[in-house]
Structure 1
């Protein structure tokens, strides 16, 4: 690689990192205020909702951008709050399967609308976020 490419890649990585930080800060604040969720729990719920049924708990950390210990901790909280349920895995007794409960699906559905609003607001106010997400703002 040439140094120009390396510099361009580094600049792009910094832009992505800054845009993600802006989005995560806004998401953490609003998801917590409105739904009692952190961004990590939202992401894990998203993976479970897309699975549309039972999913191996171990698969959650590979599908989400979270570590296994973080996923385990958040799952325990979700199970305790009644948003998720778990059962022993039928194919591997060491693991367990999880899924969203009806109240978890309802909470996730409401939080998706909130997250869409957060993303829209951040994208409208931040050229960096728009650039990274490949968006253009249309004024009405």
Structure 2
């Protein structure tokens, strides 16, 4: 608080000459933790299920929908670009994990849903993700901090 009663955030230079605020420091921590998690998840999902993180996220959106979902809606819910979603959907349709049909209201669009084998693969990949996340939170303080969990007592 200043002598006149006002408050302000003062940005102090660090020892390295880079300015940091609490928010910036927090964002960097979260970004690093996400990168660590994504790298571990990419490896585990690819090795165990032949999936990438983007396909997992798309399947997650479809798994939370009990019915058909528009491909465009899927793209907006999944934080992935429309071309990326379209490419991954084509691969998942070819693999038998997703079925698609023309959208009844829009001849240019199509609806998609997970097939029973797709739901089974997704359930297995969720178990893998839980293992990856558990291991990451146990081994990385940065990940624990970003995820808001405390260390497991060993």
- TM bracket (short chain): over 0.9
Is residue 29 of structure 1 aligned with residue 27 of structure 2?
no
Query: How many Å separate the matches in 2 of 1:31 and 1:22?
Result: 14
| Secondary structure of the structure 2 residue equivalent to 1:85 | strand
Higher helix share goes to which structure? Answer: 1
Are positions 1:94 and 2:105 aligned together?
no
The residue number in structure 2 matching 1:79 is: 93
Using the alignment, how far apart are the partners of 1:13 and 1:37 within structure 2? 28
1:16 corresponds to: 30
Matches within 5 A, 1:1-140: 2-4=9-11, 7-140=21-154
Matched length: 139
Q: Please, what TM-score do these two structures have when normalized by structure 2?
A: 0.86
CA contact (8 A) 2:138 2:152 kept: no
Q: Which runs of 4+ in 1 moved over 4 A?
A: none
Q: Structure with the greater relative contact order (CA < 8 A, sep ≥ 6): 1 or 2?
A: 1
C-alpha distance in 2, partners of 1:3/1:22? 31
Aligned equivalents of 1:65 and 1:125: distance in 2? 28
Q: For 1:129 and 1:30, how far apart are their aligned partners in 2? A: 17
The answer for unaligned runs of 5 or more in structure 2 is: 1-7, 12-19
Max Rg structure: 2
Contact 2:62 2:113 in 1 (8 A): yes
5+ residue gaps in structure 1? none
